[in-house]
Structure 1
Amino acid sequence: MIFETIVTTRSPSGAVHIAPMGIREERDLLVLAPFKPSTTLENVLSTGYAVVNYSDDVRIFAGCLTGRRDWPLTPADRIPGVRLVAALAHAELQLLHAEDDPLRPRLHCRRVHLQNHRPFRGFNRAQAAVLEAAILVSRLHLLPREKIEAEVKYLSIAVEKTAGPAEREAWGWLMEAIAVHDARQAERPV
């Protein structure tokens, strides 16, 4: 099973990187599988640490994919890292070992610390739709235009019916990203 989270990492110089990422749980470990190349991968391999943030604020997922990475942070409790202030819970991780792969290395991490901050009240359909649209936006370069159009058309029904202001804002950012991608594709020589 894959859990959609926000991963925060730091470079050796202390620069913070925030990225949405699906993670897996295997036995007692959390497994991150960032694409190559990626800042998350470089940071975890060089420092040995990451924080997994569990959040229901879909603006963070959409924001990270559309260039909005300035989210309030606070220091982690037990590792040299940071977590999202908006996290409902967070897990502080230490890298145990990495399995190399040409596309997506697997980083096996142990939880050093796990803390709940607020209760999870559940997702509404619009939040789930925004998460799915965020995944589409992260793969625009891989998917045919017809698939993107069909998915957006279906997902927009949930947004229209159940979204609040935060979900509408996140949806708007993602639709702008798709429009920019489409415009760039149209400009490419055939």
Structure 2
Amino acid sequence: MIQEVIVTTIDPLGETHIAPMGIRRREDFLVISPFRPSRTLENLLQTRHATVNYTDDVRVFAGCLTGRRDWPLMDSTRIDVPRLRDALAHTELELLDLEEDEIRPRLLCRVLHEETHRPFQGFNRAQSAVLELAILVSRLERLPFQKVVEEMAYLLTAVEKTAGPREQEAWNWLMDHVTKRKALMEAGT
């Protein structure tokens, strides 16, 4: 099972990087598998720590993919990598092992600390649709553009029926990004 989360890392100079990521649990490990190239990958290899943030604010996922990475942070409990201030929960990790792969290496991380800050109330359909679109946007370079357009049309119904202001804002950011990408493709760049 893949869980969609926000991963925070820091570089050796202490600059925080925030990225949406799918993680898996494997026995006692959390596995992070970023596509190359990846600042998350480089930061984790260099500093050996990361924080996994569980959030129901889909704007964070959409924002990170559309250049909006200035989300409020606060100190984690046991490591120097900050967490999202408004996370529902967070998990602090230490990198133990790397399973090398040319495209998508697997980083096996040990849980150092977990904390719940408030209960998860569940996703509405619009939140799920925004997450799906965010995943598509993260793969615009890898997927046929027509497939993305078809998926967006399907997902739009859920947004129209169940979105609140946060979900609508996140959806609009992603749609603007797709529109700009399409214009670049048509211009041949």
Quickly name the TM-score band, shorter chain normalised: over 0.9
Corresponding residue pairs, total: 189
User: Match for residue 167 of structure 1?
Assistant: 167
Alignment of 1:64-79 (within 5 A): 64-79=64-79
SS, match of residue 56 in structure 1: coil
Cα deviation per residue 1:66-123 (whole Å; 9 max; x = unaligned)?
A: 0000000001110111000111000000011111110111000011000000100000
Deviation at 1:149, TM superposition (A): 1.1
Match of 2:149 in 1: 149
Partner of 2:48 in structure 1?
48
Give the CA deviation at 1:145.
2.1
Q: Which runs of 5+ in 1 are unaligned?
A: none
Aligned residue runs from structure 1 range 118-137, under 5 A: 118-137=118-137
Match of 1:112 in 2: 112
Distance in 2 between the 1:8 and 1:152 partners? 28
Alpha-carbon separation, structure 2, partners of 1:11 and 1:146: 37
Structure-1 separation of matches of 2:118 and 2:9: 22
Question: By how many angstroms is 1:37 displaced?
Answer: 1.4
Amino acid in structure 2 at the alignment position of 1:10 = I
What secondary structure does 2:168 align onto? helix
Structure 2: state its 5+ residue gaps: none
User: How many angstroms apart in 1 are the aligned matches of 2:144 and 2:32?
Assistant: 27
DSSP 3-state at the match of 2:101? coil
SS in 2 for 1:118: coil
1:187 aligns with 2:164: no
Query: What's the counterpart of residue 28 of structure 1?
Result: 28
Structure 2 CA distance for aligned equivalents of residues 7 and 24 of structure 1: 13
> Which residue of the partner structure matches residue 83 of structure 2?
83
What is the CA–CA distance in structure 1 between the aligned matches of 2:2 and 2:90, rounded to whole Å? 16
